[in-house]
Amino acid sequence: MALLDHLSLERYHQPFCEVSATDQEYLTGEMSLLEHNPKASHNGFAFYRLVKEMTVQGFYTSRVGLIDVLEYQGLTYLNEFPGCTHPEHQM
What pLDDT is recorded for position 83?
81
Asked if the structure places residue 82 within a domain, the reply is: no
CA distance 82 to 72: 16
What pLDDT is recorded for position 16?
96
What pLDDT is recorded for position 90?
79
- For every one of its 91 residues, what pLDDT tens digit does the chain have, with 9 covering 90 and above? 899 999 999 999 999 999 999 999 999 999 999 998 989 899 999 999 999 999 999 999 999 999 999 888 888 887 888 788 888 887 7
Number of domains within the chain: 1
Asked if the structure places residue 90 within a domain, the reply is: no
Asked if the structure places residue 46 within a domain, the reply is: yes
What pLDDT is recorded for position 68?
92
Residue 64: which domain range? 2-71
Asked if the structure places residue 18 within a domain, the reply is: yes
Asked if the structure places residue 76 within a domain, the reply is: no
In DSSP notation, 34-60 reads HHH-TT---TTHHHHHHHHHHHHHHHH
What pLDDT is recorded for position 87?
86
Asked if the structure places residue 64 within a domain, the reply is: yes
Using CA atoms, how far residue 18 sits from 9, 11, 29, in Å, is 10, 13, 17
Asked if the structure places residue 54 within a domain, the reply is: yes
